[in-house]
Chain A
Amino acid sequence: MTTPAIRMFRGLEGLFCVYKPSGVHWKLVRDTIETNLLKGLNATPPQPLPQEVRLLAHPVSETEAPKGLTLSAVSVAVLSKHPLVTGPEFQHIKVGVGHRLDAPSSGVLVLAVGNGNRALNGLTTYTTRVTRDYTLEGEFGTATDDFSHTGRVVERSTYGHITQDKLDRVLAMLQGVNQKALLLYSNVDMRSQEAYEMAAQGLLGPGGKSTPILTGLRCIRFQPPNFTLEVQCLNETQKYLRKVVHEIGLELRSTAMCKGVRRTRDGAFTLQDALTHHHWTASDVKQAIRQYHSSKKKRKETHTKIKDPALQLPEETAGKKTETYNEAAAKGGIK
């Protein structure tokens, strides 16, 4: 039998994303969401108590019946089913977390409720290739032991010689290296027709686990000593991204540290969909999940043409580069 709470829970099952503030652990985010959802679920009107017929003895006055007692059937509410006795209907819900964000980084964090966890498994276990967008805030001139601005400073250096041009050159070099790694992990012979076709569709990439790969890298703000990078990547961790900033600094004959990691997209989830922490209530989550379901339906309709949902999102320069590279390779094969 479905109660209002169960019906509400069915409406809550699915994927949605929140905006994790920096300085908060992802477990805390998950737990807050879970308690808020439980609060919403258990606030639904409770089921009426089931009635039970019991034979209760009623003492009858002695003059009427000398034998004294008669039984009468009375329907009584079964108190053992009372919500104060059984506790709230929902005491735990499965809330799964997508690709993690560590405490100092902020941004889009995908969460799954109920059977949405199954879809989440597909996203996290490398079966589908999901790229993510990050913006990295960097600062030249200092190096710290954990590559972030909170760590212990280990080195200081000058940064006057760095120009945007030099930075772009380094970024292009890094992207080229990662492009090679992408081809290496894609497990296809580069001289085959198959590789050509995959590259033409933009499907080349690691099939499963791989080292972190940056598929796109560019500088969107350059005001020395501060700079901002935009990164598209696969199988990354936030620590790796900080290390990338550090290495860019070294490559430019200077030092750099990362002041902030912000994820702006995780697969199909973008900043627009993300719920800020004022909106982590059951009703808002419900709306976000409904929106996700409707958008999924739309995507399925368009998907008859394009096979892979994960790589449908344009990867700008990276995607184009692969194509050109592979076209060249294919031509070489033909000759």
Chain B
Amino acid sequence: MSSSFTQLCLQYRSRLFSKTVATTCRFSTQFHHCATLTRLPTKILNGSSVISGNRTTMQARQWWKQPMFCYRDLTARHLATEAKEHKDTEQLSKADVVVYKTPALPIRDAEMPVTKGQMSLDLDATTELSALELISDEEALGISIPSTMPPCSTSLSDYVDQSETLSKLVQLGVKLWSLEQRPNVGSMLLRLNFNTDVAPKLLFLKEIGVEDSSFGPIISRNPFILTKNLQQLRSRVDYLKSQEFSSENVALMVSRAPYLLSFNVKRLDNRLGFYQKQLKLSASNIRNIVVRQPKLLSGSLEPIKENLKVCQIELGFKENEIQHIVIAVPKVLTVQKRKLIQIFDFLHNTMKVPHHLITKFPQVLNSRYLRVRERHLFLNYLGKAQYDPALPNYISLERFVSLPNETFCTELALATLEDFNLFQKTL
């Protein structure tokens, strides 16, 4: 709207500089003509009498403005009208979006005879529109308002209100802000159609027993499920079921490791085979481990191989000990190598805990280094650090690690929490 106004102003200016009275006369009559005519299309909008009134007054103003141009000296006066017209645009911009479009039509028409040579684009538009004709309500509704969607954007938030898929995904609880930071995911989501792409996948997830509340987190983690072929997804789930994973377990695994569905059957088979070969465990034990730590299937295998070697060579566990540790705490396979070594070093070399005791309480390998250190030092300070079950005042490693601070202080250290806090500040 405002751009058409400025165009109009530009036209006026060029006109005025040419200073031919005859043309301006024609121009003014032209304007008069359209002002009278354009009262008709104002009825396009039903129920907006205020707006149509507004528009006609504007037209009238423009109509009486023009003759003044013709006879007086020009540029200064022209600037004044320009300002007035700006006011008009402001007035108009207060009105609703739908109103914007219609008054633009007659004004363009008014432009037309003036611009001829210069504005071929507008010419084309007017021939198509033929705005002076009375149109019916349906057609008026049919006039498409150019949407405010930008053609390209760095954020999905510009499209959420317009796109049905995105707004439905938001209602599902998908974290769009984190997805849009991944390369190409944003445009992939925009291209999806909710009914044909998204809904069947959601129904499929529902079918295999995933809870409704975890749809959002699953898609936030692995949005590529939505682009996959439904047949492929089904075959993967069928494969897992054929490996005697129960359907609840499959649902649990999918919701905890959404990338499981992106792996083809052969890859899944390879991975299950890898664990069976490396750990030499029975199938039921492998299943048990994988259900409890599904990331073993979806994550990288390299760190797991490395951890196994570290346990074997660097930490000196025997094969059966490793098997026992892994069955009890599968997370040991996925923790960082550096942390594993650090905590083992402290347990074995500072706390003097032998290998067989660590195998008995493998949870200690999964706990925080700082926690183990400060607790051991506190017990040591109190003279209670005694981890040998054969001697009196034995403190079991499991309780040592798993108890929360309060109960640790009262039950194991027989001290108060404040003492423990103060002790931490002396380390």
A interface residue numbers (CB < 8 A to B): 19, 21-24, 52, 55, 57, 67-69, 71, 78-82, 84-88, 106, 262, 271, 274, 276-278
Contact = CB atoms under 8 A, between A and B. Distances in A.
Contacts of A81: 157
Contacts of A68: 138
B157 A19 contact: no
Interface in B176-200: 176-178
A106 B426 CA distance: 9
A84 B424 contact: no
Candidate in B178, B405, B426 with the most chain A CB atoms within 10 angstroms = B426
A85 B177 contact: yes
A84 B137 contact: no
Contacts of B426: 262
B123 to A, nearest CB: 31
Contacts of A57: 141
Candidate in B161, B174, B425 with the most chain A CB atoms within 10 angstroms = B425
Nearest to A69: B141
25 contacts: A19-B424, A21-B374, A22-B427, A55-B96, A55-B97, A69-B137, A69-B138, A79-B160, A79-B167, A80-B157, A80-B160, A80-B161, A84-B173, A84-B177, A85-B156, A85-B157, A85-B160, A85-B170, A85-B176, A85-B177, A86-B157, A262-B427, A274-B425, A276-B425, A278-B421
The A interface is mostly helix, strand or loop, or mixed, namely mixed
Nearest to A21: B370
B136 interface: yes
Contacts of B230: none
B138 A67 contact: yes
Contacts of B161: 52, 78-80
Contacts of A69: 137-138, 141
Contacts of B157: 80-81, 85-86
A55 B46 CA distance: 14
Interface string B399-427: 00000010000000000000001001111
A67 B142 CA distance: 12
A69 B98 CA distance: 15
Given A57-B141, A67-B137, A67-B138, A80 B424 contact: no
B176 A84 contact: yes
Interface string B123-167: 000000000000011100100000000000000111011000011
B332 to A, nearest CB: 22
B138 A271 contact: no
A67 B136 contact: yes
Contacts of A80: 157-158, 160-161
Contacts of A84: 170, 173-177
A55 B99 CA distance: 12
A233 B96 CA distance: 70
Nearest to B137: A67
Contacts of B97: 55
A277 B167 contact: no
A271 B422 CA distance: 9
Given A67-B138, A71-B141, A21 B427 contact: yes
Contacts of B166: 79
Contacts of A19: 424-425
Contacts of B178: 87
Contact of A79 (B170, B374, B421): B170
Nearest to B173: A84
A195 to B, nearest CB: 39
Given A84-B170, A262-B426, A276-B421, 16 more contacts: A21-B424, A52-B161, A55-B97, A57-B141, A69-B138, A78-B161, A80-B161, A81-B157, A82-B160, A84-B175, A85-B156, A85-B157, A85-B170, A85-B176, A271-B425, A278-B405
B70 to A, nearest CB: 42
Nearest to A55: B98
A48 B418 CA distance: 42
Interface in B84-122: 96-98
B58 to A, nearest CB: 23
Given A69-B138, A79-B170, A276 B424 contact: yes
Contacts of B170: 79, 82, 84-85
A80 B374 CA distance: 47
B48 to A, nearest CB: 10
